[in-house]
Amino acid sequence: MPGRRIVWSATLLRKGPQPLDRTHLRYAGDETPGGELHCFVLDGSASMLGSLAQAKGWLLDSFNRLARERSEVALIRFGGDRAEVLFGPAVPRWWNERWIEPIGGGGGTPLSAGVAAAARLLARAKRAEGPQASQVRVLWLLTDGRTRDMPSKPPGVDRVVVVDCEQARIGHVAHIALRGCERLARAWAAECVRLDEIAPRV
């Protein structure tokens, strides 16, 4: 539609793993009055080391796109024995690459801690809006699903996308696909997309 700005975050969310067509397009006029908050939860465990650079590249692209759309974002990293909020909620700024690039990985996969941190953050955002809250809250979980954790879906979230980062191989070692992301997405009635489908290999 000439003269109308496409909102790519909402468009890609609607598209999912399907080929993009015009029915998926969302425009600036379609935005909700309260805007959007995109909460990204990044698995920084040792099993993610083969996918982490690709995941961070996609995160950087997403932050830059959402900054242009003036959407709020937050980023939570979990790994080892804890989860931590690295950014937001706020509109991303121009220096995103400087702090996303050094994010490292290692240790265990405290998925429940990461999801709990997201639930607290989203709940605070909802309370801050007050009784007339109209902001759409979107949760993006980037993980390979290689954990026995099966936390409950966080309350207070409008959309959930599980980004499946599981690799068939890490270096020269073949891995049996555990499909943990698919199981979690089914349990949460969430969308599940492959990282390889939405982000270029780096």
Q: What is the DSSP string of 130-178?
A: -TT---EEEEEEEE---SS--PPPPTT-SEEEEEE---SEETTEE----
Contacts of residue 98, Cβ cutoff 8 Å, sequence gap at least 6: none
For residue range 24-79, list pLDDT tens digits in order.
Answer: 676 665 555 568 899 999 999 999 988 999 999 999 999 988 888 889 999 999 99
For residue 101, the model assigns a pLDDT of 85
Candidate ranges 20-24, 107-111, 161-165; pick with highest mean pLDDT: 161-165
Phi/psi at 45 (5° precision): -80, 170
pLDDT band at 172 (very low <50, low <70, confident <90, very high): very low
Question: Is residue 139 exposed (0-12), middle (13-18) or buried (19+ Cβ within 10 Å)?
Answer: buried
> Look-up: residue for tokens 């026995």?
148
Model pLDDT for residues 107-127, shown as the tens digit of each residue: 888 999 999 999 999 999 888
What is residue 124's three-state secondary structure?
helix
The whole-number pLDDT of residue 115 equals: 97
pLDDT over 80 (residue 145): yes
